[in-house]
Amino acid sequence: MFSHVLSTTFLALVASAVAVSATPSLSIKVTGEPTVAGVDKLIVKTTITNTADEILTLLNHPESPLNKLPANTFTITHATGITATFTGIKAKYVPAKAIAIGKDAVTALAPGQSIEVEHNRKSSDKLFHTVSEAYAFDKEGEYNIVSNNRFYFINAQKEAVPIYATSEAHTVTLTGKLAVRHPTQIKRATYSGCSLSRQNSLVSAVSGAQTYAADALSYLLSHTSSSTRFVTWNSSHRTLTIAHALTPVHMPTFTLTTMAKSTSAAPSGMLHLPAQTPRHSGTLIHESSHFIVNGGTEDYVYGQSDAKSLARSNPDKAVLNADNHEYFAENNPAQN
């Protein structure tokens, strides 16, 4: 009897130890030059290490340090406590679709394996430093650069599960030039890197997006906050904010690229689209709402189900969530 109890206890302890050892874990370290003369020369590297005992398959999320896009990947703070303002792109990213894409959208790390990512990108013959593209620096001096430490690994059920890495920051002293030149904002749609057929598809999508926006704005001005359609996506009355986001004053520059598997928008008015992007007017509503002149929305949640839940639980966030604007404008399935 005593021997049986010992055996059972031993097996339970072994099972517990195996479960603990199988817990996914990561570390991330930011490195770079200690002193940089000019923000256009500011390059950092991130080293992501699998510190677990099993292979981890990680999504290349736009805001993950695995991605080279000028997204909100870092928190950059001056020695005085002032945080560099994020001015980069915001991406519509659906993990389930990325998982379906497979190896081109993920990074697999064996136990103990590391991957180093230098945060710059090459477009044609020009090298862009994504930190200087994505952030505005107000003054010279010492900056602390901390990477976003949230990753998503794919579990056995093919689900995206968040994981938080232990993080090591980088400190850099910045002198000289503090800004890079960004394109001047324009009021009509222009196209870069697009074939004629792609341009035609985008022209149609732009027209559809403008129709969505005009119809949604008309609806807002003729209905109250108690309508089913309004309550579904916004819950409380924020007509002025929504109307502002749905007024298409500034049309974007479209760039077709094979860099990413997501659609992204820069506050300055440029949309970056994967070459296989379908003709989708709703996506243009979503991304255009990110532009500061159209509302400056965020990506708090994705998908109709989560957008509806957000409207119920946190209407202040829902009114600033890009997907809520998209679904309100599309009105599919139709609501009164």
Question: Which one from 63, 133, 287, 330 is the annotated catalytic residue?
Answer: 287
Residue 109: pLDDT above 50?
yes
Q: Is the pLDDT at 29 greater than 70, yes or no?
A: yes
Beta-bridge partners for 168: 29
Q: How many other CB atoms sit within 10 Å of the CB of residue 30?
A: 22
Task: Name which of 267, 216, 207, 223 is nearest 242 in CA terms.
Answer: 216
**pLDDT average, residue stretch 124-152:** 86
How many Cβ atoms from other residues are within 10 Å of residue 252's Cβ? 28
Checking if the pLDDT of 264 tops 80, the result is no
CATH class of the domain comprising 190-330: alpha beta
| Model pLDDT, residue 15 | 46
Is residue 42 within 8 Å of residue 32, measured between CB atoms? yes
Q: Using the 8-state DSSP alphabet, how is residue 79 labeled?
A: T
| 300 pLDDT more than 80 | yes
Burial of 185 (0-12, 13-18, 19+ CB in 10 A): middle
Distance from C-alpha of 208 to C-alpha of 189, rounded to nearest angstrom: 13
269-289 average pLDDT score: 63
CATH tag, 26-175 = 2.60.40.2970
Q: How many CB atoms lie within 10 A of CB 64?
A: 24
Task: List, by residue range, all CATH 3.40.390.10 domains of the chain.
Answer: 190-330
pLDDT at 194: 67
Give ranges for CATH 2.60.40.2970 in the chain: 26-175
- Structure tokens, 16: 């517990």
- Locus of tokens 């994967």: 274
Among 44-53, 117-126, 281-290, the range scoring the smallest mean pLDDT is 117-126
298 labelled catalytic: no
β strands within 176-227, DSSP E:
190-192
Asked whether 330 and 215 are in contact (CB, 8 A), the reply is no
